[in-house]
């Protein structure tokens, strides 16, 4: 199976990356992994030029999205791991999500493989209503565009006091989801 993980924190090696790595380490089945760390890729903002409407499947901007588009389209499991900044996606990963407009504009979506998606949200503050609501709203159309079936949205709150790797409840949720994926894929193969 092919796994694509997008690491959306502007800090390498902090809570978001640790939670993502925790999950990835629980995947026991054979897989190919492509991790896109927003701090290490060149992804420019969508310029809303509409080039992708007459030029189906193409984006006018030359950057790493050329590769990421293909991987997001055809992977089996997509993971979006991100902190919230001002209760929303931080700017770098939001730019990547916005660029998915190229795929949204495809008239023939047969190249888009049906896939599973796992979302990992991280917030420094104690849990509050709507802490991850904006992420959820943004991902509604991202998931539809990429033909995703959600396997979980694990929400790590209060990382300012409770490091992600000490949040037992969320780690258990991640382990359960990994177990489900291991079992499902074992049945398919
Ligand atoms: C610019 C900025 C805005 C933030 N806004 C929020 C917020 O609205 N709600 C929240 O719970 N945490 C907020 N935080 C805290 C981060 O979500 C928290 O530090 C998280 O652990 C960051 O992920 P990381 O550890 O992977 O870097 C904010 C942090 C920054 C830098």
What is the per-residue pLDDT across 92-125, written as a single tens digit (0 to 9) for each? 999 999 999 999 999 999 999 999 999 999 999 9
Residue 158's pLDDT is what? 98
Contacts of 19 (CB under 8 A, 6+ apart): 81, 120, 122, 154, 156, 164, 165, 170, 174
* Share above pLDDT 90 across residues of the chain, in percent, rounded to a whole number: 97
Q: Whose CA is nearest to atom 4 of ligand 1?
A: 85
Extract the tokens encoding 51: 């080039």
- The number of the ligand 1 atom at minimal distance from the alpha carbon of 11 is 27
Residue 188's pLDDT is what? 65
* Share above pLDDT 70 across residues of the chain, in percent, rounded to a whole number: 98
Q: Whose CA is nearest to atom 10 of ligand 1?
A: 123
pTM (predicted TM-score): 0.97
- The residue whose two tokens read 């030359």 is 62
Q: Give the torsion through C-alpha atoms of 34, 99, 177, 162, to 10 deg.
A: 100
Extract the tokens encoding 183: 């079992």
Distance 78 CA to ligand 1 centre (A): 22
Distance 23 CA to ligand 1 centre (A): 20
Q: Give the whole-angstrom CA distance, residue 101 versus residue 48.
A: 9
What is the per-residue pLDDT across 48-96, written as a single tens digit (0 to 9) for each? 999 999 999 999 999 999 999 999 999 999 999 999 999 999 999 999 9
Q: Whose CA is nearest to atom 22 of ligand 1?
A: 83
Packed helices 15-25 and 168-188: angle between N→C axes, nearest 10 degrees: 40
Residue 27 has pLDDT above 90, yes or no: yes
Residue 186 has pLDDT above 80, yes or no: no
Residue 189's pLDDT is what? 58
- For residue 147, give the 3-state DSSP assignment: coil
Q: Which of 6, 123, 134, 154 to mutate to test the pocket of ligand 1 (most atoms within 8 A of CB)?
A: 123
Distance 159 CA to ligand 1 centre (A): 8
Q: Give the whole-angstrom CA distance, residue 14 versus residue 44.
A: 24
Distance 83 CA to ligand 1 centre (A): 6
Contacts 24+ apart (CB under 8 A), 21-25: 22/164, 22/165, 22/171, 22/174, 23/79, 23/118, 23/120, 23/174, 23/177, 23/178, 24/79
- In this structure, the residues whose C-beta lies within 6 A of any atom of ligand 1 are 9, 11, 14-16, 83-87, 122-125, 131, 159
Q: Whose CA is nearest to atom 27 of ligand 1?
A: 11
Distance 10 CA to ligand 1 centre (A): 10
């Amino acid at each position: 199976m092919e796994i694509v993980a997008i690491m959306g924190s502007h800090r390498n090696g902090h809570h978001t990356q640790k939670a993502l790595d925790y999950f990835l380490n629980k995947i026991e089945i054979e897989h190919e992994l492509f991790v896109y760390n927003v701090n290490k890729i060149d992804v420019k903002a969508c310029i809303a030029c509409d080039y992708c409407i007459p030029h189906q499947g193409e984006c006018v901007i030359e950057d790493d999205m050329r590769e990421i588009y293909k991987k997001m389209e055809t992977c089996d499991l997509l993971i979006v791991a991100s902190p919230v900044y001002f209760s929303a996606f931080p700017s770098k990963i939001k730019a990547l999500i916005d660029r998915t407009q190229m795929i949204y504009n495809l008239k023939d979506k047969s190249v888009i493989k049906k896939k599973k998606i796992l979302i990992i949200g991280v917030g420094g503050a104690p849990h509050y209503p709507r802490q991850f609501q904006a992420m959820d709203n943004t991902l509604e159309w991202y998931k539809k565009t990429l033909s995703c079936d959600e396997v979980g949205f694990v929400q790590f709150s209060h990382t300012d006091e409770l490091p992600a790797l000490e949040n037992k409840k969320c780690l258990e949720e991640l382990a359960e989801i990994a177990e489900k994926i291991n079992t499902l894929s074992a049945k398919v193969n």
